[in-house]
Chains A and B, each alone.
Chain A
């Protein structure tokens, strides 16, 4: 098992954000994490990266607990995180942003830059431009490219399709599939459930800090509760997951 979360509980002060999450990602898999706003998807990724400390439970990478690894060492262990909102360094150029991705290991920079530019030719055109001046889609490409520069085994992608035009979303999802086909495991947080489930092997549905559903992507795609709550389809009265209107409109738009 590449990544394993066992009964992970996280809280912000008095507010509990994750209430005992169990989740695994195997080498080479794409696993998607679905759920409404505030369900705990971003919290899950930030906890894996060590930016948040779990109050209970354990996170293991290759079977080894991460609790004693300082967060900045995680990238050396092969985990790269493209965070929510892209978080591009605004006054660094595209090139400098990409170099930040290779901060811990400079050996293959030239080769890896070429690899990123092959995936996202747009970034090459913008190479000396400040990160903060890029469009949303370009910033997302840069965030993914920056994560790739560390040669990860596991990529954590937090809502890469957020706020992007449908055409750009398609490019992004194609690239995620391609990166995965080169052997990189992906844990993909998405509100765009339909697209995410199409490229994923498995999925989890989070609701108020619990995993309420999990299974192979094809099964989730066919599940009535998922279809109603996250794919915006009317399948009649169903108990279970609360529909989330923001998700529904977002999915319909694209």
Chain B
């Protein structure tokens, strides 16, 4: 079968993984927007969210038995998302407290933040490895993964719908939060001009914490969606994390809509490229994209500024 026959199926698959990248990418881009800091430990926030969500869902579903359906399915997915989000937010909050805030108090140079980020990331990976014995933790999909509808001949199944719809709902909520709420207003003000934001009465420390927490909520919920599809493992964060970072750079780091667009584009490119070359080249293609943007358009598709709707 040629590429054109497969085009719509690849598009559907690409949109699904792309929407997940977008959800994680927002955490990088928000923190970068307010602190000009790449939070390399964000991938571990994602991982903790995944474990939290999986354990919560497993506790309700029990081992084996029938696949839940109807309201039970919805409840379990919602529970997994909620617990995942809370675990992610908690991890991000602690991370900010322990790894970044002390440096800020001391006016540390940029390099110190980078080292602290990498250190925190290694610590979190190994802590999780110790706690959960370096094994993959899986759950049965909490719903029957049947075909929902066909899109130009491509099969769209329940899992794709759940992941894509949840991710889109989160993206829209975040976009509204940044564009319309008082918190969003203060986030944009800090991103555009920190000192002037202070003069307007914005509590910058609080905005920074909230930025980490919001990024953590998204990444944690995203972690559950990811783990529901694949599995949760102590080192699961690295690859999706770096890809989400790629997505953030692709869209323009610091730009909220850019991160969303970057995630979707990266998912699609990966999906098409994986078919055209070989599925095993997927990751290679993702990182080629990163290198290519850095060379050709370092400010990303939509530019670096936390824009109007930011």
Question: Known: A51-B195, A83-B195, A130-B308. Is A89-B201 also a contact (CB below 8 A)?
Answer: no
Residue of A whose beta carbon sits closest to that of B203: A72
Residues of A within 8 A of B195 (CB): 51, 83, 87
Contact A72 B193 (CB under 8 A): no
Ordered by A's residue number, 22 sampled pairs between the chains whose C-beta atoms are within 8 Å are A49-B199, A50-B198, A51-B199, A71-B199, A72-B201, A72-B203, A73-B201, A74-B199, A75-B201, A76-B201, A83-B199, A87-B193, A89-B189, A91-B305, A91-B310, A92-B188, A92-B308, A96-B185, A100-B200, A103-B189, A103-B202, A104-B200
Which 6 A/B pairs are nearest by Cβ-Cβ distance? Answer: A104-B201, A75-B201, A87-B196, A100-B200, A89-B192, A81-B199
A228 on the interface (CB 8 Å rule)? no
B204 to chain A, nearest CB (A): 7
Instruction: Kindly identify which residue among B186, B196, B202 contacts A83, using a CB–CB cutoff of 8 Å.
Output: B196
Residues of A within 8 A of B186 (CB): 103
Residues of A within 8 A of B198 (CB): 49-51, 71-72
Contact A89 B199 (CB under 8 A): no
Contact A91 B202 (CB under 8 A): no
Question: Known: A96-B185, A103-B185, A130-B308. Is A89-B202 also a contact (CB below 8 A)?
Answer: no
- Residue ranges of A at the interface with B (Cβ–Cβ < 8 Å): 49-51, 70-76, 80-81, 83, 87, 89-93, 96, 99-101, 103-104, 130, 146, 150
- CA–CA, A87 to B199, complex, Å? 11
Residues of A within 8 A of B171 (CB): none
Contact A70 B203 (CB under 8 A): yes
- CA–CA, A80 to B308, complex, Å? 24
B54 on the interface (CB 8 Å rule)? no
- CA–CA, A96 to B196, complex, Å? 14
A51 to chain B, nearest CB (A): 6
- CA–CA, A49 to B195, complex, Å? 10
Question: Known: A71-B198, A91-B306, A93-B308. Is A100-B203 also a contact (CB below 8 A)?
Answer: no
Residues of B within 8 A of A146 (CB): 200
B184-215 contact mask (Cβ, 8 Å, vs A): 1 or 0: 01101100110111111111100000000000
| Interface residue count on the B side (C-beta < 8 Å) | 22
B298 on the interface (CB 8 Å rule)? no
Residues of A within 8 A of B201 (CB): 72-76, 103-104, 150
A150 to chain B, nearest CB (A): 7
- CA–CA, A87 to B204, complex, Å? 17
A101 to chain B, nearest CB (A): 6
Q: Which B153-208 residues sit within 8 Å CB-CB of chain A?
A: 182, 185-186, 188-189, 192-193, 195-204
Instruction: Kindly identify which residue among B204, B306, B307, B310 contacts A72, using a CB–CB cutoff of 8 Å.
Output: B204
- CA–CA, A92 to B186, complex, Å? 12
- CA–CA, A93 to B172, complex, Å? 21
Instruction: Kindly identify which residue among A70, A76, A91 contacts B192, using a CB–CB cutoff of 8 Å.
Output: A91
Residues of A within 8 A of B192 (CB): 89-92
A61 to chain B, nearest CB (A): 15
Instruction: Kindly identify which residue among A51, A91, A101 contacts B200, using a CB–CB cutoff of 8 Å.
Output: A101
| Contacts beyond the supplied A90-B192, A103-B182, A103-B200: 6 A-B pairs with Cβ under 8 Å | A71-B199, A75-B201, A83-B195, A83-B196, A83-B199, A91-B307
Instruction: Kindly identify which residue among B185, B204, B306 contacts A100, using a CB–CB cutoff of 8 Å.
Output: B185
Residues of A within 8 A of B306 (CB): 91
- CA–CA, A74 to B202, complex, Å? 10
Residue of B whose beta carbon sits closest to that of A156: B199
Question: Known: A89-B188, A89-B192, A89-B193. Is A75-B305 also a contact (CB below 8 A)?
Answer: no
B14 to chain A, nearest CB (A): 30
Contact B308 A91 (CB under 8 A): yes
Residues of A within 8 A of B188 (CB): 89, 91-92
- CA–CA, A91 to B310, complex, Å? 9
A46 to chain B, nearest CB (A): 8
Residues of B within 8 A of A87 (CB): 193, 195-196
- CA–CA, A70 to B203, complex, Å? 9
A79 to chain B, nearest CB (A): 9
Most chain A CB within a 10 A radius of its CB, from B201, B307, B308: B201
Residue of B whose beta carbon sits closest to that of A79: B199
A91 to chain B, nearest CB (A): 5
Residues of B within 8 A of A72 (CB): 198, 201-204
